[in-house]
A and B are shown apart, each in its own frame.
Chain A
Amino acid sequence: MISLGLIPLFPLLGCIILGAIAVISSGSKKGPAEGFVGTLAVLFPALSFAGVALLSFNMPEGGIRETLCNWIDIPMFRVDIGFLFDGLSRIMLLFVTGIGSLIALYSIGYMHGDRGFARYFAYINLFLFSMIVLVLSDNLLLTFLGWEGVGLCSYLLIGFWNKDLKNCQAANKAFIVNRVGDIGFLLGMLFLVTVGGSAILNYDVLSNFISMVINGNHVEIVVPVLSVAGILFFIGCTGKSAQIPLLTWLPDAMAGPTPVSALIHAATMVTSGVYLLARLGSMFALLPVVLDIIVVVGMLTAFWAAVAGLFQNDIKKVLAYSTISQLGYMFMASGVCAFDASIFHVFTHAFFKAALFLGAGAVIHALAGEQDMRKMGGLLKKTPVTACVMIFAFLAIVGFPGFAGFWSKDLILERLFMNCSMFIPGFTIFGHEVPNIPLNGVVYAVGLATAVITAVYMGRLIILTFFGSYRGSKESEEHIHEAPAVMLIPMVILAFGAVFAGYLWADSIGIKFFAETLAPVVGAAQAYNTPAVTAHLNPVVFAVLGTVAALLGMFIAYKIYAKARIPAAKGSSAPEGGKATWTFLFDSIHKYVGIIPVNVLAWICDVVVDKVLAAAQWTLGAIATILGDGVASFQVRKVRVQIALSILGLIALMVVVLLTGGTL
């Protein structure tokens, strides 16, 4: 059995070696040999994946725990560096390292000829290290290390092409917005520490603590503090997983290389919020208020982002909003304590969204950097493999029966209806007693509507990109080519995943492998919350409704976009008018709530307070100088006169001494 410490160690080694290569080769004209660097870059994630796979097959029931060493040890606070490998981290690790390796492979083709080839892979390896630490750690503080680490790598990779300041600004935005969330995470940890000392940051201790609370009927006592902690953790999750209100960074993050968008901003990093909720599931299960907030936020995010996805012209932006929307689904599921369903959706989403992004990357690659969908079209014949991959992934994301997305999304919608216990409290109006109005139907309906919109905007993407006729310039048409094999292989593998990943938990045909894996971790939390709808409903009803929604959306997309004349692309691919208002709604909120007040404060400090202080200081100085000048003017030019004057002073002193008899 290999040590758990090895799994993050491999990418870390890779990062160090590749970083060293990048720095050493930076002086030379040609750059390092791409074959060598590429091999190293794929080797380390692949080794790590192999390690995870090996561990997965031999995992004992309760998981593997391993404490490496002590990390921080100060009075009142002690945290170890330790790893926990259980059902949840197993699944996360498998797809993180697996997809990570695939995307590293894909990147060899995508980044071919880039000056920062080695640097790019150093970052990718660093990212994988952080992500592995995030999901493998056995305590919150170490998770936080990974949490900020992935944020840092995201920053580095968004701003990878740093000659363009726009990319840098997008990167800065991503990091700062994430920082806001991270502070929530940090303060959440502090709240937890007040409840149970630093040991409670360990996940095992935490869940023991929670079960102790439940068994001892102390729930009412701890819930207020835990609720605050829960909300703070949730703020952290909204930052990392791009939920309302901290979602503005994700669309901008598309400035990075496309494989990065696939790996970090679709498949892995952004789902760490969902992971954290599942990890802390036992705690969240106690906090109905927080759960309701999560549902509402997830619902609003899913719907808002789906609509925003309709308005985008940039192929990557569509996928970005789609990601936000799908993350909204996952949060909704978490909000009704369906943590296994949310992780399942994370899992399937990772496949189909990564496939979509890589496909988009291949398209962009084929079109020499063109990202505006209005200038594409008819690529089905020119790049058939890419098109097939994307169409499979498309079917998966809209929830076409049998594809991966169908199983997971269906499960989430079902759980939403069954478990959502939100209600409007009963009230009295005109003497009538109105009973509690349950809201599970509303939540379910919004989820379903979002599924329809998802099918519409994804259908639009596929139609605009692959069908119709090519709308770009003539000379660019001749250069269109299929991607090299090194890029196609990962795409095809991911497309397989997009089709078949759902069969790990196909409720309708009785496969529950996924649920069983997760049960030891999140089972207790899910059992704590009783379903709102106790009547038994046939799951087939939900499946049919979901299928109808998908088909309806695809039909609408076909009706609108297949025949419509596409407006000629003018300049920027950004949406305009009302579409822009909707898209940049949260950007403007951030601007008025965050950026402008801080700038005004900074202005006050700089221009008012500091100048006033400086003036005060210089006034004091000036007074001293003036006084000094005044005294200096007593100084007569002739030395002798001065001595004469001092003799006079002596006389005066003498007289005083004599008059007082020396007793003064």
Chain B
Amino acid sequence: MELQAIYVQILALVIFAIGLIVAVSRRNVFFVLMGVELALNAVNLSFVGFAKTLPNDMSIVGQVVPLFSIAVAAAEACVGLAMVILIFRNRESVDADTYSNMKG
């Protein structure tokens, strides 16, 4: 029994699924954000897992891209939280279902 590449992918899939469930089924906007972060993490993991199936220089790509994705996630979290603060101040609520200003 050795560690197989497919295990990593399965783990990533499970965490992604949980992240998605959190993001969509919970109504608290903080949980929504956390779910998204979780799903992003899962994708990073998947990246690294796949990178390890490639030889030589090609494998380095899969290990560098998550770096960028983490940076982008940081930016996203930054703006997202700012928006949450803004909306919360106006709505006095963290329930994502009450946020329907953008509905046409």
State the A residues within 8 Å of B (CB).
632, 635, 637-640, 643-644, 647
Minimal Cβ-Cβ distance residue in A for B102:
A639
Sample of 14 A–B contacts (CB below 8 Å):
A632-B104, A635-B104, A637-B100, A637-B103, A638-B97, A638-B100, A639-B96, A639-B97, A639-B99, A640-B27, A640-B97, A643-B23, A643-B24, A647-B20
A647–B103 touching, CB < 8 Å: no
Q: Given the known A-B contacts A635-B103, A635-B104, A637-B103, are A647 and B97 also in contact in the complex, defined by CB atoms under 8 Å?
A: no
B43-59, CB < 8 A from A:
none
Determine if B25 is an interface residue (Cβ-Cβ < 8 Å).
yes
A632 neighbours in B (Cβ, 8 Å)? 104
A640–B103 touching, CB < 8 Å: no
B103 neighbours in A (Cβ, 8 Å)? 635, 637
Minimal Cβ-Cβ distance residue in B for A646:
B24
B99 neighbours in A (Cβ, 8 Å)? 639
Q: Which 9 A-B pairs have the closest CB atoms?
A: A643-B24, A640-B24, A638-B97, A637-B100, A637-B103, A632-B104, A644-B24, A639-B96, A640-B96
Least Cβ–Cβ distance between A408 and chain B, in angstroms: 86
A640–B25 touching, CB < 8 Å: yes
A644 neighbours in B (Cβ, 8 Å)? 24
Minimal Cβ-Cβ distance residue in A for B25:
A640
A643 neighbours in B (Cβ, 8 Å)? 23-24
Interface residue range, chain B? 10 to 19
B23 neighbours in A (Cβ, 8 Å)? 643
Minimal Cβ-Cβ distance residue in B for A640:
B24
Least Cβ–Cβ distance between B15 and chain A, in angstroms: 16
Number of A-B contacts (CB under 8 A): 20
Quick one: CB contact mask for B85-104 with A, threshold 8 Å, 1 for yes? 00000000000110110011
B11-36, CB < 8 A from A:
20, 23-25, 27
CA distance A452 to B97 in the complex (A): 103
CA distance A637 to B27 in the complex (A): 14
Least Cβ–Cβ distance between B42 and chain A, in angstroms: 15
Quick one: CB contact mask for B60-98 with A, threshold 8 Å, 1 for yes? 000000000000000000000000000000000000110
A637 neighbours in B (Cβ, 8 Å)? 100, 103
CA distance A644 to B21 in the complex (A): 10
User: For the complex, would chain B's binding face be called helix, strand, loop or mixed by DSSP majority?
Assistant: helix
B25 neighbours in A (Cβ, 8 Å)? 640
CA distance A638 to B99 in the complex (A): 8
A647–B100 touching, CB < 8 Å: no
Minimal Cβ-Cβ distance residue in B for A650:
B20
CA distance A640 to B29 in the complex (A): 11
CA distance A643 to B35 in the complex (A): 13
Least Cβ–Cβ distance between B91 and chain A, in angstroms: 14
Least Cβ–Cβ distance between A342 and chain B, in angstroms: 80
CA distance A570 to B101 in the complex (A): 78
CA distance A243 to B20 in the complex (A): 91
B104–A647 touching, CB < 8 Å: no
Known: A632-B104, A639-B99, A640-B24. 14 other contacts (CB 8 A): A635-B103, A635-B104, A637-B100, A637-B103, A638-B97, A638-B100, A639-B97, A640-B27, A640-B96, A640-B97, A643-B23, A643-B24, A644-B24, A647-B20
CA distance A436 to B104 in the complex (A): 90
Least Cβ–Cβ distance between A651 and chain B, in angstroms: 12
CA distance A647 to B99 in the complex (A): 21
Minimal Cβ-Cβ distance residue in A for B100:
A637
Least Cβ–Cβ distance between B78 and chain A, in angstroms: 21
B97 neighbours in A (Cβ, 8 Å)? 638-640
Minimal Cβ-Cβ distance residue in A for B21:
A647
B24 neighbours in A (Cβ, 8 Å)? 640, 643-644, 647
Least Cβ–Cβ distance between A634 and chain B, in angstroms: 11
Minimal Cβ-Cβ distance residue in A for B98:
A638
CA distance A647 to B27 in the complex (A): 17
Least Cβ–Cβ distance between B19 and chain A, in angstroms: 12
Minimal Cβ-Cβ distance residue in B for A644:
B24
Least Cβ–Cβ distance between A637 and chain B, in angstroms: 5
CA distance A640 to B25 in the complex (A): 7
Least Cβ–Cβ distance between A275 and chain B, in angstroms: 74
CA distance A640 to B20 in the complex (A): 11
Least Cβ–Cβ distance between B9 and chain A, in angstroms: 15
CA distance A632 to B103 in the complex (A): 10
CA distance A143 to B48 in the complex (A): 87
CA distance A200 to B99 in the complex (A): 82
Minimal Cβ-Cβ distance residue in B for A629:
B104
Least Cβ–Cβ distance between B98 and chain A, in angstroms: 10
CA distance A632 to B23 in the complex (A): 24
Least Cβ–Cβ distance between A39 and chain B, in angstroms: 77
CA distance A640 to B24 in the complex (A): 5
A635 neighbours in B (Cβ, 8 Å)? 103-104
CA distance A647 to B19 in the complex (A): 13
Least Cβ–Cβ distance between A642 and chain B, in angstroms: 10
Least Cβ–Cβ distance between A627 and chain B, in angstroms: 14
A647 neighbours in B (Cβ, 8 Å)? 20, 24
Least Cβ–Cβ distance between A130 and chain B, in angstroms: 65
CA distance A632 to B96 in the complex (A): 21
CA distance A644 to B96 in the complex (A): 14
CA distance A639 to B96 in the complex (A): 8
B104 neighbours in A (Cβ, 8 Å)? 632, 635
Minimal Cβ-Cβ distance residue in A for B32:
A640
CA distance A635 to B25 in the complex (A): 18
CA distance A639 to B27 in the complex (A): 10
CA distance A643 to B24 in the complex (A): 7
CA distance A265 to B100 in the complex (A): 78
CA distance A158 to B24 in the complex (A): 82
Least Cβ–Cβ distance between A654 and chain B, in angstroms: 12
CA distance A647 to B23 in the complex (A): 12
